[in-house]
Amino acid sequence: ESRYNPVKIEEKWQQTWAEQGVDTTLTDPEKPKFYALSMFPYPSGNLHMGHVRNYTITDVIARVYRMRGYRVLHPMGWDAFGLPAENAAIARGIHPAKWTYENIGQMKAELRRLGLSYDWSREVATCSPDYYRWTQWIFLQFLQAGLAYQKEAAVNWDPVDQTVLANEQVDSEGYSWRSGAKVERKLLKQWFLKITDYAEELLQDLDKLTGWPERVKLMQANWIGKSVGAYLEFPIVGLDEKMAVFTTRPDTVYGVTYVVLAPEHPLTPKVTTPDRQQAVTEFIQSLEGESDIDRTAEDKPKRGIPTGGQAINPFTGEEIPIWIADYVLYEYGTGAVMGVPAHDVRDFQFATQQQLPIKVVISPTQGEAPERLSEAYTEPGYMVNSGMFNGAPSTQGKQAVIDYAQSQRYGKARVQYRLRDWLISRQRYWGVPIPVVHCPNCGTVPVPDEQLPVRLPEDVEFTGKGKSPLAQLEDWVNVDCPTCGTPAKRETDTMDTFIDSSWYFLRYPDAKNDKAVFDSAKTNDWMPVDQYVGGIEHAILHLLYSRFVTKVLRDRGLINFDEPFQRLLTQGMVQALTYKNPNTGKYVRVEQIEDINQPTDPNTGDSLVTSYEKMSKSKYNGIAPLTVLGKYGADTARMFILFKAPPEKDLEWDDADVEGQFRFLNRVWRLVMEFAESASEAEAANTKDEKDLRRAIHTAIKEITDDLEGDYQFNTAVSEMMKLSNALNDASCKSSPVYAEGIKTLLLLLAPFAPHLAEELWQALGYQESIHRQSWPLVDESALVVDEITLVIQIMGKTRGTIEVSATEDRALLEQYARDSEVAQRYIEGKEVKKVIVVPKRNLVNFVVSG
Ligand code: ANZ
Ligand code: ZN
């Protein structure tokens, strides 16, 4: 009998499957479709356990659906543009393309070793011209639709290297990663996509995503941030201009005691009086570097100063001071607010601090209002001190105030979204060139479709200094205008890599098309993705951008669906033990610890604190997938990952549990091999043993099928397989056809989880065709019926014996069986039965006797 040698059989099957095209997408139109997709990786160099978990989950789903008779699309590719490649070029002189393709090669080899059933013929890499050509084409679709435009926006400017930095190249203190210089803000003309045009639909359609975690939908809704309220104009004293505010509480407009402009607001210099000029300028300078989050946090002190200017509350005619303050953001609403200290938390704090008047205009009860407040009253109530609106409930008052403002032409209803347009310009090399030319005669001219792709030039210097590498290439930058032929200049910005990943799932159905972005019929056929699996870190941007691009391409008539991802599974983190010195805050490598039961810091002697944390290099708790694959093989790694925790929960790495799964696979190996080698004749019989085993087999099918439906409870599915394996092991009818059925079923159920082992044993049973082309086993309901039970007979609470009887929950019948039994006869003879306790749930009858 051969030993289970995972590394050997896994390699063999990976090769055979590739040669035989076992994982090629079936396109039989008769079959229902299923599109299973993992978020494609950034080719950083090596796979980490987070990848392994993500791809294993999707792979099991893909395999189960295949066995259930679906045609399954399960592709893989590379999100291959981005900053790390360029950083490597700057730091180590490796060309980004070389660095990227080497990493892809490395990671692909590792993926193959996991036994993932990808259709590699559909592989995409976003950095390859036959992919980014279509990214450029999609950009031009946006341009044609009026959904791409240029506008000035701030970038991070390194004054020493004279270069633009990505946010990732600026540390949390605001210094450059390379030169160490304090990073400045500089305005540049940049490209934006108008995602705000789709804000309402992106919000409404969240309701259609019934297969998404509520948490993710909530995060998206908050990001879109819809507020319903009013736009109101306050005339400025002495200027022929008005100051517009956005408010969600027009019902509080009689309580306005001051108004505030964002410091950056263009009105600020205009309303500032000469005597306040210097103070205002100094104040604005002092705000540099403060983040929006700090500026608007409710628990931070607010800073602000008066401009000397005055505005008029159009409702009361009162003159009120115009301030500037850090808690008003220029980017939101109109960049200005009306200050209502009595009813807004931040305004209350600010007014108290600056000794501005506080005027109560909403009362909790009908009638009089409290004179003084100890904190803002933000709840609904009744309008007071509000002229003609007095007495109105605030919720209705809102509409009444808006209607009145509209009739007087100084206000109207307004819906405001927090979502901003998508800034896609990057002043970097390793990205998709934005396919436009700037012509002195024609302005901004799109590169004609037939001239795509605008290729990235390869011969480039990476210094990290000065203009971006593309902007430094005179030959590349200077071109003739595609429209009029005049010497013109190429756009040198490249696109945010989130664009590359916002449409890749549309390409897989027709990945090699070199005539079109995709054949609409094919993409409409496969889309939407039935199951998308990936990390929660993509809950907002990637998913929102993908939804946006999908809706735009739908409106361009290219596709016929509204949402790209039907169901979403966000897998939990992979964690492992860390050892941390609580005094120094430093992590210690496990190899340096002498006594693992009482871990101490070898340098200081301090006791170490242990906890499970996300695997990471800096915490010394990472486990390299290759190490595990080399020792146990992919099947054990997969089984462990699936067994250890439900997919959306965090998973704690545990060597003993890995070992446990390895032992389980070894047991399966022996069980099947022994069976394969025992040439005994099958004898059909109809014993109780066979019935029990058959019930165990079909219970396993039923439970595992249920576990995989809906919630993907792989962990309990694995437990069921273990139960079935035990039942087979314990069975005394090993030469019965039922036993053969059990062995076969166990392998079929195991196939999606441990694909190599299942295939090897399948073929050992003599089957020719791959197990991965077999059908998922079906439950025989009749096998589940329990027709006999073991009835326990107790006398005075003590078990005296058992009998086999027909299954029933009928108390009288059970009592009768028990009374008639030999055991009972023996013990109750000559005694008086005082009471009989029948417990059908426990198959038990207890006789209480006396004498
Ligand atoms: C007056 C008022 C009275 C307000 C009151 C609230 C309560 P959301 O829900 O986030 O949309 N606001 C408006 N523009 C702002 C800006 N650019 N920077 C900082 N704050 C701004 O919040 C809208 C509310 O936030 C607006 O309603 C405004 O304050 C403030 F009892 O107006 B409110
Ligand atoms: Zn021109």
- What percent of the chain has a predicted confidence (pLDDT) above 90? 84
How far is the C-alpha of 603 from the C-alpha of 613, rounded, in Å?
23
How far is the C-alpha of 243 from the C-alpha of 510, rounded, in Å?
53
> Residue 68's pLDDT is what?
96
Confidence of residue 286 (pLDDT cuts 50, 70, 90): confident
Which ligand is in closest contact with the Cα of 360? 1
> Residue 119's pLDDT is what?
97
Token readout for 404 is 């009145």
Q: How far is the CA of 409 from the centre of ligand 1 (A)?
A: 21
CB of 227 sitting under 6 A from ligand 1: yes
> Of 164-168, 225-229, 542-546, 595-599, where does mean pLDDT reach its minimum?
164-168
Alpha helices in 502-621 (DSSP H): 504-507, 520-526, 541-555
CA distances, 435 to each of 133, 469, 488 (Å): 9, 16, 13
**Which amino acid residue places its CA nearest to atom 20 of ligand 1?**
328
319-325: strand order across its sheet: 304-312, 319-325, 258-261, 336-339
Residue 524 has pLDDT above 70, yes or no: yes
Query: pLDDT of 130-142, one tens digit each?
Result: 999 999 999 999 9
Residue 1 has pLDDT above 60, yes or no: no
Going by C-beta distance under 8 Å and a sequence separation of 6 or more, which residues neighbour residue 58? 36, 37, 38, 74, 531, 533
How far is the C-alpha of 427 from the C-alpha of 50, rounded, in Å?
31
Query: pLDDT of 555-583, one tens digit each?
Result: 999 999 999 999 999 999 999 999 999 99
Closest to 90 measured CA to CA, from 456, 433, 466: 466
Residue 769 has pLDDT above 90, yes or no: yes
CB of 230 sitting under 6 A from ligand 1: no
Which ligand is in closest contact with the Cα of 439? 2
How far is the C-alpha of 492 from the C-alpha of 196, rounded, in Å?
25
> Residue 366's pLDDT is what?
85
Q: How far is the CA of 295 from the centre of ligand 2 (A)?
A: 45
> Residue 430's pLDDT is what?
96
Return the DSSP state at 431.
S
How far is the C-alpha of 553 from the C-alpha of 551, rounded, in Å?
6
Given a contact cutoff of 8 angstroms between Cβ atoms, the answer to whether 530 and 36 are in contact is yes
Residue 673 has pLDDT above 60, yes or no: yes
> Residue 683's pLDDT is what?
61
CB of 246 sitting under 6 A from ligand 1: yes
Q: How far is the CA of 248 from the centre of ligand 1 (A)?
A: 6
CA dihedral 87, 92, 97, 103 (to 10 degrees): -90
Hey, what long-range contacts does 229-232 have (CB within 8 A, 24 or more apart)? 229/398, 229/413, 229/414, 229/415, 229/416, 230/398, 230/401, 230/402, 230/405, 230/411, 230/412, 230/413, 230/414, 231/334, 231/411, 231/412, 231/413, 231/414, 232/314, 232/338, 232/405, 232/410, 232/411
**Among positive and negative, which fits the CA dihedral 320, 326, 328, 330?**
positive
CB of 763 sitting under 6 A from ligand 1: no
**Which amino acid residue places its CA nearest to atom 18 of ligand 1?**
328
Using DSSP bridges, classify how beta strands 487-490 and 478-480 pair: parallel, antiparallel or unpaired: antiparallel
How far is the C-alpha of 603 from the C-alpha of 71, rounded, in Å?
59
> Residue 695's pLDDT is what?
92
CB of 335 sitting under 6 A from ligand 1: yes
822 versus 679: which is more confidently predicted? 822
Which ligand is in closest contact with the Cα of 487? 2
Given a contact cutoff of 8 angstroms between Cβ atoms, the answer to whether 445 and 439 are in contact is yes
**pLDDT average, residue stretch 594-606:** 92
Give the CA angle between residues 55, 61, 64 to the nearest 5°.
135
Instruction: Give the E-state strand segments of 546-615 in sequence order.
Output: 568-571, 574-580, 609-614
Confidence of residue 809 (pLDDT cuts 50, 70, 90): confident
How far is the C-alpha of 742 from the C-alpha of 727, rounded, in Å?
9
Ligand 2 ion: residues within 5 Å (CB): 439, 441-442, 481, 483-484, 486
Closest to 256 measured CA to CA, from 313, 333, 326, 327: 313
Determine the residue type at 690. E
> Of 25-34, 166-175, 390-399, 587-596, where does mean pLDDT reach its minimum?
166-175
Which ligand is in closest contact with the Cα of 445? 2
How far is the C-alpha of 508 from the C-alpha of 505, rounded, in Å?
6
How far is the C-alpha of 292 from the C-alpha of 290, rounded, in Å?
7
How far is the C-alpha of 462 from the C-alpha of 94, rounded, in Å?
9
User: What is the CA 511 to chain-centroid distance, rounded?
Assistant: 24
> Residue 789's pLDDT is what?
87
> Of 1-10, 45-54, 765-774, where does mean pLDDT reach its minimum?
1-10
Ligand 1, from 331, 332, 398: best to mutate by most atoms within 8 Å of Cβ?
A: 332
Query: pLDDT of 139-192, one tens digit each?
Result: 999 999 999 999 998 888 999 988 888 888 888 888 988 889 998 888 899 999
How far is the C-alpha of 234 from the C-alpha of 319, rounded, in Å?
10
> Residue 684's pLDDT is what?
61
CB of 337 sitting under 6 A from ligand 1: yes
Q: How far is the CA of 443 from the centre of ligand 2 (A)?
A: 7
157, β-bridge pairs: 164, 184
Closest to 328 measured CA to CA, from 311, 309, 344: 344
CB of 333 sitting under 6 A from ligand 1: yes
Residue 362 has pLDDT above 80, yes or no: yes
Confidence of residue 291 (pLDDT cuts 50, 70, 90): low
Confidence of residue 86 (pLDDT cuts 50, 70, 90): very high
